[in-house]
Structure 1
Amino acid sequence: MNSTKSTKNSTLKMFSKESKMLQRSISFSNMALSSCLLLPGDTTVISSSWDNNVYFYSIAFGRRQDTLMGHDDAVSKICWHNDRLYSASWDSTVKVWSGVPAEMPGTKRHQFDLLAELEHDVSVDTINLNTVSTLLVSGTKEGVVNIWDLTTATLLHQISCHSGTVCDAAFSPDSRHVLSTGVDGCLNVIDVQTGMLISSMASEEPQRCFVWDGNSVLSGSRSGELLVWDLLGAKISERIQGHTGAVTCIWMNEQCSSIITGGEDRQIMFWKLQY
């Protein structure tokens, strides 16, 4: 198993889980990378950057394939589903692109077609899709969570529920709820159908990222601590000391049995969940 990580020094690093060794290190630009993901098939990595671009990197050929220059400010987060790229930016937009990156070096670069543009009032810091990619949630620097219908590219709900930047937001597996975290330390649960804030729980510090299986939530703190939240009891049920710096990203496998965390301490940690 391989994992990828984007860092503040504009370098994409690939690690092997088996050997626990750095396999490859690639630098795309002179500005930081904001997020990265591995496309289905495990042959292409996509990275977004503060330099306004999205980069496509071929693992097999060890080179950059494509560069998408689609925003006027930093690209903060990207998602991918069914050959569609979703990019959020500080230029106050979320854009939906259709296109498949080139598969062979030297082949003609693919033309990425803009399918939709979701306009916001301020910069967008995070986005996520529901499991069937019919809904998108976005979070802004002013603490607003937006829920969009992607089939019609229309805004369904706009919820002001954080006192500062929304750090992360995601749908529950059944798409009935949205969870969001922010620099205010709050973890909020929103009803997707009504757009109502169902519950709000607070921690002492900002929660930068999280994963959840619909019941339990694991979030990463600015201090490096991992928090396990009990949504039914509306409380923090467990605290785990993970990193010595802020936890910047969390990934969980589909079986909800393994977790990978990355932090500002330049460490990648692998966790096995116990039930």
Structure 2
Amino acid sequence: MEIISSHNTKQLPDSDASSNYRRSITDLPPALISEILNFLDPKELGLVSCVCTNLYRLATEHHVWKDFYCERWGLPLFPSPLDSELSDEKSWRDLFVEREFRSKTFRGRYSIDLLYGHTEGVRTVFLLASANLIFTSGYDSIVRMWDMEVGLSIAASRSLGCTIRDVAADTRLLIAGGTDGFIHCWKAVEGLPHLFDLSGSEKQSTEFRIWEHEGPITSLALDFTRIYSGSWDMTVRVWERASLKCLMVLRHSDWVYGLAPHDTTVASTSGSDVYVWDTNSGTQMTVIHNAHVGNTYALTRSHTGDFLFTGGEDGAIHMFEITVDCDKADVLLVATWIPHLGPVRSLAFEFPWLVSASDDGKLALVDVRKLLTTNRYRLGKMVSGENQVVQCSVEPPQRMLHGVGSNLFSVDIGADRIVCGGEEDVVRIWNFSQALEIERRICALRGIRLENRMRRRRLQVEMNDKGGSAERCSVAAKKNPMNGDRSGAWHNKRGKSGKLKA
């Protein structure tokens, strides 16, 4: 790309005009180039990086890659295998490209691993990808910890005395909510390979309970400083992690089935309604009445918190966009899916895939990338707090996973695995790591084919050049008259001999 001045270059010599009035974009100040690159998307930045060495350096190390990454997956509170050592070994571009590549995994082949150990139905599963751990619990009142890579049981807690309906964890704390209204907690033990001592064999006092709910606890969540719990006592309680004190109580009009916090807001489902709360003031920002026909059981949010996904008793899944302005929130219904014949019990999201588990024994996988890149305000409908949800664009699911005959209660998703628990006493893992390896081999073979194609093209060009020079020599020879033949005609012996002609 060149920048040419509008001055009349005929007044100057050609050398001066070319040196003073023709400039490349790389000659612009770096700050100006950075502003230009800010307007490009990942694909366009990749194309720019192929133009020349200077643009490759500028486009590859541009800070906007961090923004792209955070828009997809957000900044991790605790490092995961893909997010670790962000600044030391891999640039934000490398991390973005690698994670974007892994998003193709769930379109490929998979294998199903079965985890045996529970004696009754599994109500909840939680995948802690940063530590390669899976936590499960249910009707048998025991919390079990599994190695995600190997698929073996690591540890199991004692019986907690009641059904455990939800678990949540990070690398510092593991919590489980029971129908007796308590939150059972385990602190991570320093130096322990698998973080938590569920059996209580360590000397440290790392196990305790929090009591305050008056009904069964149905949903739990953690962020960096707080614990969130929802209960059938029609409240969501926000706890401070350091002091374990209840900071606020958010009261609803019906049983609370699910919650999803992000930053200074928390979304919750109560009966058929969906609420969004401000966790700084404890005020209600907006409510979506009758989000589903029947109860709204499942709830999850995108990593940036802008999108809300709900699943209900009617077998439908809704996608909402939340716009927060001061103490108010506007909600836009973007899309609706109806993939199940039974109630949707659980949802999980890992960009760009939304996965749902239902009583019909099936999992539905939906790629929401297209909805995030299109003009959602043309597709969606604004949803006020007093109106019912109106179906806008009904999208088909991209993939259905079968093979389970019983009700499914809980699902979670990681970079290349989907974990699911249901009425059976078995935990199922859909393992897509084989698809990732196949995709890598395909990319490697595609690169080899491209290299061979380029090599053949270079050889063809060289052969054409040689053939062109030989042809020019033969033309020159035809134009030169031979000795004894002033007409310049070539003698044809076959034309002069009748025998040869016969």
TM range (shorter): 0.7 to 0.9
Q: Is residue 184–residue 210 contact of structure 2 (8 Å, CA) maintained in 1?
A: yes
Q: Distance in 2 between matches of 1:223 and 1:61?
A: 33
* Residue 220, structure 1, aligned to residue 349, structure 2: no
Q: 1:211 matched to which residue of 2?
A: 348
Q: Identify which range, 114-123 or 198-207, moves more after superposition.
A: 198-207
Once the two structures are superposed, the pairs formed by residues 11-26 of structure 1 within 5 Å of their partners are: 11-26=142-157
The alignment's C-alpha RMSD in Å is: 2.2
The amino acid across from 1:162 in the alignment is H
Matches within 5 A, 1:131-146: 133-140=263-270, 142-146=271-275
Alignment correspondent of 2:427: 268
SS at match of 1:235: coil
1:150 corresponds in structure 2 to: 279
For structure 1, the residue ranges without an aligned partner over 5 or more in a row are 101-110
Stretch deviating more after TM superposition (229-238 or 215-224): 229-238
Counterpart in 2 of 1:57? 186
Secondary structure at 1:51 match in 2: coil
Distance 2:231 2:157 in 1: 23
Could you give the per-residue CA deviations for residues 199-224 of structure 1, whole angstroms, max 9, x where no partner exists? 32223221211222354321112122
Aligned match of 1:247? 408
User: Which structure carries more helix by proportion?
Assistant: 2
> How many Å separate the matches in 2 of 1:236 and 1:61?
39
Separation in structure 1 between the aligned mates of residue 231 and residue 151 of structure 2, nearest angstrom: 33
What percent identity do the matched residue pairs reach?
Answer: 19
Change (3 A) 1:73 1:84: same
Q: 1:214 to 1:22 in 2, by over 3 A?
A: closer
Q: Does 1:46 align with 2:175?
A: yes
User: In the alignment, residue 420 of structure 2 is paired with which amino acid?
Assistant: T
The alpha carbon displacement at 1:56 in A equals 1.1
The structure that has the greater radius of gyration is 2
Residue pair 1:5, 1:36 contacting (<8 A) in 2 also: yes
Tell me by how many angstroms 1:20 deviates.
2.6
Cα deviation, residue 242, structure 1: 4.3
Contact 1:39 1:46 in 2 (8 A): no
How big is each residue's C-alpha offset from its partner over 1:177-213, in whole Å with a ceiling of 9 and x where there is no partner? 2110012101011221212333322232212112223
Q: Size of the alignment, in residue pairs? A: 258
In structure 2, the residue matched to 1:186 is: 316
CA shift for structure 1 position 149 = 1.8
Q: Which has the higher strand share?
A: 1
1:196 aligns with 2:338: no
Structure 1 distance, partners of 2:353, 2:229, is: 28
When residues 61 and 215 of structure 1 are mapped into structure 2, their CA distance, relative to the original with a 3 A threshold, is closer
- The match for 2:80 is none
Secondary structure of the residue that 1:34 maps to in structure 2? strand
- Which structure is richer in relative contact order (CA contacts within 8 A, separation 6 or more)? 2
Residue 5 of structure 1: which of 136, 150, 158 is its match? 136
Residue in 2 that maps onto 1:104: none
User: For residues 251 and 285 of structure 2, what CA distance do their matches in structure 1 show?
Assistant: 13
Question: After the TM superposition, which of the residue ranges 81-90 and 55-64 deviates more from structure 2?
Answer: 55-64
Matched, 1:121 2:253: yes
What letter matches 1:249 in structure 2?
S
**Structure 1 position 74 matched with structure 2 position 180:** no
One-letter amino acid of the counterpart of residue 336, structure 2: S
1:112 counterpart residue number: 244
Q: Deviations over 1:43-66 (max 9, x none)?
A: x42100010000013533733711
Runs of 4+ with deviation above 6 angstroms = none
- Residue 3 and residue 57 in structure 1: after superposition, are their counterparts in 2 closer, same or farther (change >3 A)? same
